[in-house]
Amino acid sequence: MQNPEFNQKMKRIIEQSQRMYLADAAPRIAAVQAAYAEWLAGRVERAAAAESIYSHVHAMKGVALTIHFEPMHVICEALIELLQERKLEEASSLVGELPARLVECKGIAEGNGNGE
């Protein structure tokens, strides 16, 4: 049995969570891109870059699927897999795609608030 009041409350919670996620994700993406660029330039060790990238990507992945941001969940999952396989050099295209996935998530949030 569906409860309209409960459904509305859940929709508001998801919408609020989406707004918070979008605000948090932009600086995380910038940090991921900076860590990757620093590693490519030889200014930081591979392990330090991978750890920083992993930390930010893992945080973004954690809630993305729950709040209907599947595009971000998918790319973060792929990045984590590469990092776990120690294939940092293969992460370039995924790191570069993060801003576009964030734009997709903004579209989901602006569409109907819940990604459905």
User: What is the pLDDT of the chain when averaged over all its residues?
Assistant: 93
Which residues are within 8 A (CB) of 108 and not within 5 positions of it... i.e. 6 or more apart? 18, 68, 69, 71, 115
Distance between CA 11 and CA 13 in Å, rounded? 5
Record the tokens describing residue 65, joined without a space: 């699927």
- Per-residue model confidence as pLDDT tens digits over 35-66: 999 999 999 999 999 999 999 999 999 899 99
Question: pLDDT of 91-105, one tens digit each?
Answer: 999 999 999 999 999
Q: How many CB atoms lie within 10 A of CB 6?
A: 9
Spatial separation of the C-alpha atoms in residues 74 and 97, rounded to whole Å: 11
- As a whole number of angstroms, the distance between CA 54 and CA 95 comes to 11
Q: Which two tokens stand for residue 112?
A: 């109907």
pLDDT at 115: 42
Host H or E run for residue 57: helix 46-64
DSSP 8-state code for residue 18:
H
- The domains found in the chain, sorted by start residue, are 7-110 (1.20.120)
Residue 112 scores a pLDDT above 90:
no
Per-residue pLDDT band for 113 (boundaries 50, 70, 90) equals: very low
Higher pLDDT, residue 16 or 112: 16
